[in-house]
Amino acid sequence: MQLIAWAQTALFFVFYLAIFVLSVVALLDLLRRPATAFVSAGKLTKGKWGAILGVATAVAFMALPAPLGLGLLGFLAIGAAVAAIVYLVDVKPAVSPYRGRGGGGGRPGGW
């Protein structure tokens, strides 16, 4: 019986860790993009996506089991995963052609 309990705990830890990593990757990608790219692509503003992904990352961290996180709000981790996946699948490809910080002033292609 203890082997099953250990396996469940390990599975949940891996699951919540994957959601946390996914949220951090989405948030870091967001920080690399220029704010004008979101408006040009017809998406929510960078500030709104920053708030969504910031909350998603915080929730994903709190959902991590006790050694790393707090072990709270586990049921909301699915919402954090959905927010990160929507950003990575829908928003990131739309804003990727736009360069920031010396890469072309927010125009597609960078030239």
Q: Note whether residue 78 is domain-resident.
A: yes
Q: Supply the pTM of this predicted model.
A: 0.82
The rounded distance, in Å, linking the Cα atoms of 111 and 96 is: 14
Q: Note whether residue 101 is domain-resident.
A: no
Q: Note whether residue 54 is domain-resident.
A: yes
Range of the domain at 78: 2-95
Among 110, 98, 104, 77, CA closest to 34: 98
Q: Which residues 6+ apart lie within 8 Å of 5 measured at CB?
A: none
Residues in the chain: 111
Among 94, 77, 70, 66, CA closest to 19: 77
- Give the DSSP letter of residue 55: H
Q: Note whether residue 53 is domain-resident.
A: yes
Q: What is the pLDDT along the chain (111 residues), one digit of tens a residue?
A: 799 988 988 898 899 999 999 999 999 999 999 999 999 999 999 999 999 999 999 999 999 987 777 778 888 999 999 999 999 999 999 999 987 654 444 455 544
Q: Note whether residue 88 is domain-resident.
A: yes
